Structure 1
Amino acid sequence: MTFFPLLASESFGLNFNPLQTNLVNLAIVIGVLVWFLRGFLGGILERRRTAILQDLEDAEARLTKASEALSHAQSELADAQKKADRIRKDGKSRAEAIRADGEKKTISVMASIKQGASADADAEASRIRDALRRDAATAAIAKALSDLPGRLDTQAQSKLLDASIANLRDA
């Protein structure tokens, strides 16, 4: 039993005769295939190459548009950030001005309240002083009137009345 029957035969060797080896037929078939398929495969490959080039041009155009849109969006973002910063600064300055104005108004109101309270306290103190003076004068007059009849005799009363009338004429 032989595993390689071709190697076991005695006619093993190389044949260089082109007619017996079908090299001419193979050359003709390969040539015809190349000639017929060149147009067919060449057309397919050319269409494919054109489609790929068109896709690349479209991709480059889209890349260019996207780059332009990106740069435009970045400039708009930068403008928006500047505007936001400006608004933030204006808001802070307005808030500071409102706070300072509120403080001034509060201080003014507190000062007027203090002045009003002081004026009220002074008026109340003056009213109390006047009331105390009236009460003291009334008490002194009442005491003098109650003590006077026992202390004054007729002659002293007439001197007092004369002095009072003289004072009234001078005034």
Structure 2
Amino acid sequence: MKNVTDSFISLIYLPSAEGFGLNTNILETNIINLSVVLGVLIYFGKGVLSNLLDNRKQKILSTIQNCEELCKGAANQLEQARVRLREIEMRAREIRVNGYSQIQQEKEYLIDVASVNLKQLENLKNETVHFEQQRVIEQVRQQISRQAVQRALRTLNSRLNHELHLRTIEHNIDLLLAMKNITD
């Protein structure tokens, strides 16, 4: 402080011939007026400035607190999203495993159904073949029977004369009479 005072004193005593100097007339320089204005500003401005700084400090603190709360909320939401993601991934794995097992079951079921259908078709084919065999055998029997009857008729016609014909008729009549007597 002594150095500052010495500097002002040395400026006051500078010769005015050099062109630079300090005006020592207090009334002309308004040092008192400036001191009073500065004192009033400091006295009254101190409270206003203090209030402005306190308000600004409170706003900054509330903004920081809001940001921290938002950050915590976002962290909670992120954690919840991660938990939900893990649950969804587990569910997806379960669905995938169940899907594979269901596909395997469906595959086995279709193979079983195809096997049953194949057996039914095989049985139906065998029955159809057997039926056709029986039909062909019956046709062959009928044809053989017709041929046998035709051959027998030709043989009978070639060997049958009038006398043999009469004896056959009499024999059949006697058989019919005997059957009638038995039933009466």
TM over 0.5: yes
- Distance in 1 (alpha carbons) for counterparts of 2:32 and 2:82: 70
- The residue correspondences of 1:85-96 to structure 2 (distance < 5 A) are 85-96=93-104
Structure with higher helix content: 2
Secondary structure at the aligned position of 1:47 is classed as helix
- Distance in 2 (alpha carbons) for counterparts of 1:118 and 1:144: 38
- Distance in 2 (alpha carbons) for counterparts of 1:103 and 1:24: 113
Please name the residue that 1:75 is paired with.
83
Matching residue's letter, 2:20: G
Q: RMSD of aligned C-alpha atoms? A: 2.7
- The residue correspondences of 1:2-151 to structure 2 (distance < 5 A) are 12-17=19-24, 19=26, 20-148=28-156, 150=158
Gaps of 5+ in 2: 1-16, 165-184
Matching residue's letter, 1:29: V
- Distance in 2 (alpha carbons) for counterparts of 1:39 and 1:115: 110
- Distance in 2 (alpha carbons) for counterparts of 1:14 and 1:79: 86
Please name the residue that 2:178 is paired with.
none
Matching residue's letter, 2:59: A
Sequence identity (%): 23
The structure whose RCO (Cα within 8 Å, separation 6+) is larger is 2
- Distance in 1 (alpha carbons) for counterparts of 2:45 and 2:134: 128
CA deviation profile, 1:109-136 (whole Å, cap 9, x unmatched): 1221222122111221122113202321
After superposing on structure 2, the runs of 4+ consecutive aligned residues of structure 1 that deviate more than 3 Å are 148-154
- Distance in 1 (alpha carbons) for counterparts of 2:47 and 2:104: 83
Gaps of 5+ in 1: 1-9, 155-171
Aligned pairs, number: 145
TM-score (norm. length: structure 2): 0.66
Using the TM superposition, give the Cα deviation of residue 96 of structure 1 relative to its aligned residue in structure 2, in angstroms: 3.2
